[in-house]
Amino acid sequence: MNWFDEEESPEELGEFGLIERIARLTGSGNTHDSMGIGDDCAVIRNTSNGFATLITTDMLVEGRHFKRNWISAEDLGYTSLAVNISDISAMGGKPRYALLSIGLPGNTDPDWLNGFFGGIKGLCDTHGMKLIGGDTVKSNSVIVNFTVLGSIPEKNILLRSGAKPGDKLGLIGRVGDSGAGLRLLKQSSSPDLPLHRHLISAHNRPTIYVREAIFLAESGFVHSMIDVSDGIRSDAAHIAKQSGAKLTIHTDRLPVSDVLAEVCNAFSWSPEEIALTAGEDYALLFSFHSDREENLKRSFQNSFPDTPFSVIGSVSDGNAGVRFLKNGRNFDPGAHGFDQFKSD
Ligand SMILES: Nc1ncnc2c1ncn2[C@@H]1O[C@H](COP(=O)(O)OP(=O)(O)O)[C@@H](O)[C@H]1O
Ligand SMILES: Cc1ncc(C[n+]2csc(CCOP(=O)(O)OP(=O)(O)O)c2C)c(N)n1
Ligand SMILES: [Mg+2]
């Protein structure tokens, strides 16, 4: 089979080019009872009871996604599961079951294993989830691959493709703290400074928004949603492309923490660039019916008074894409979002 040309290495194609190619080659189209490659989860519909199963999988590789001297075993256990749960939340579902495939060096410290599985158990308990299977192999470095299954009434599923011209864009959570935490780890800055500790902890143990996502999906006012794993620049572009719509995002409305602003100031970093392109915040980006802004925001904040709900932009007709405005003028975020084969 000659499916890939000479120049088509993963580096040349990039992560998303490669995924598009896989989808085309394997013919992973949608059918009446399932939806395949292209959204945060695959969907299998159960036509008899109106519910659907959401399925997602994410792999974390030592050195690439984490370093064992930067993250505790417990935080790694928590985060490896959390990033998968976040994909279920990105479609509005309830996470229910997990399968865990791991590769471990034979001499892995039992204390490390205690911490790692403690982090997993804690998060399973928080959300009433059950670990129901997986696979275990010996490897030279730690590899963690969760698969998570969730459920949702089919009518509530929020796709990347649902944004409509006239919608507003909302964001649940904050952006940028995780990316700044990673920059601090990379330059081995002192984790004992409280501000640095806050950002590093946002990176190593990101907040996920499970109950909030279900609330949005049940509201009936939300049309599309994605979780921000690769950065708003990249993840908003998925909504734009799949909805065939133009997204406008006002960078001055991004929910950036005071800590991020202060640390960026100290290092002369651009908070907007980090907030838009660094990723791993697991905030939820969604579009909703513009007439319902007040109603949706008020009822959301009544239920979740401590979770930030920001309105950061709008959806319009026009060429599918995302433009950024800072104080009304075009703004270039600088870096691109995270790509497995193109980013450091
Ligand atoms: N190797 C692969 N084979 C088949 N589908 C894949 C592969 N890698 C990614 N996908 C699919 O491509 C889509 C985008 O993947 P990804 O960017 O990893 O999503 P997310 O950021 O939500 O985890 C998802 O639907 C995912 O299931
Ligand atoms: C040691 C280290 N280097 C680099 C990064 C940066 N990084 C790794 S994965 C990632 C984005 C999300 O990863 P991905 O596997 O694409 O998640 P998905 O989009 O599939 O949910 C980022 C910003 C990191 N977290 N740790
Ligand atoms: Mg993925």
Q: How many domains does the chain have?
A: 2
Q: Say whether 92 counts as a known binding-site residue.
A: no
The reply to whether 100 and 169 lie within a common domain is no
Q: Say whether 338 counts as a known binding-site residue.
A: yes
Q: Where are the beta strands (DSSP E) in the chain?
A: 34-35, 42-46, 51-61, 94-104, 130-138, 143-153, 168-172, 222-227, 246-250, 284-288, 309-316, 321-326, 329-330
Strands 168-172, 222-227: pairing kind? unpaired
Encoded tokens for 96? 């229910």
Low-confidence ranges of the chain (pLDDT < 50): none
Q: Which of 130, 155, 180 corresponds to the end of one domain?
A: 155
325 assigned to some structural domain: yes
Q: Is the CB of 280 under 6 A from ligand 1?
A: no
The reply to whether 231 and 138 lie within a common domain is no
The reply to whether 148 and 175 lie within a common domain is no
Q: Say whether 87 counts as a known binding-site residue.
A: yes
Q: Which of 96, 130, 155 corresponds to the end of one domain?
A: 155
Domain that holds residue 51: 31-155
Encoded tokens for 270? 């651009």
> What's the pLDDT score for residue 239?
98
The reply to whether 241 and 128 lie within a common domain is no
Q: Which of 252, 243, 86, 291 is nearest to 173 (CA)?
A: 86
60 assigned to some structural domain: yes
Q: Is the CB of 177 under 6 A from ligand 1?
A: no
Q: Say whether 65 counts as a known binding-site residue.
A: yes
The reply to whether 177 and 303 lie within a common domain is yes
CA dihedral 281, 247, 260, 282 (to 10 degrees): -10
6 assigned to some structural domain: no
ipTM for the predicted complex comes to 0.96
Residue nearest to atom 14 of ligand 1 (CA): 38
Give the Cα separation of 121 and 333 in Å (integer). 38
- Number of residues that make up the chain: 344
Q: Is the CB of 37 under 6 A from ligand 1?
A: yes
Specify the ligand 2 atom closest to the Cα of 179: 23
Q: Is the CB of 229 under 6 A from ligand 1?
A: yes
CB-based contact 284:90 (threshold 8 Å): yes
Q: Which of 160, 163, 162, 161 is nearest to 315 (CA)?
A: 163
- The CATH number for 73's domain is 3.30.1330.10
Counting ligands in written order, the one closest to the CA of 90 is 1
**82 alpha carbon – ligand 2 mean position (Å):** 13
> What's the pLDDT score for residue 208?
98
The reply to whether 107 and 173 lie within a common domain is no
12 assigned to some structural domain: no
Angle at 205 between CA 106 and CA 312, to 5 degrees: 140
Counting ligands in written order, the one closest to the CA of 89 is 1
73 assigned to some structural domain: yes
- The CATH number for 173's domain is 3.90.650.10
**299 alpha carbon – ligand 3 mean position (Å):** 32
Q: Which of 123, 155, 187 corresponds to the end of one domain?
A: 155
Q: Mark 137-148 as b/e (b = at least 16 C-beta within 10 Å).
A: eeeeebbbbbbb
The reply to whether 222 and 258 lie within a common domain is yes
CB-defined site of ligand 2, < 6 Å: 58, 65-67, 83, 182, 229-230, 279-280, 338, 340
Residue nearest to atom 24 of ligand 2 (CA): 65
> What's the pLDDT score for residue 172?
98
> What's the pLDDT score for residue 337?
78
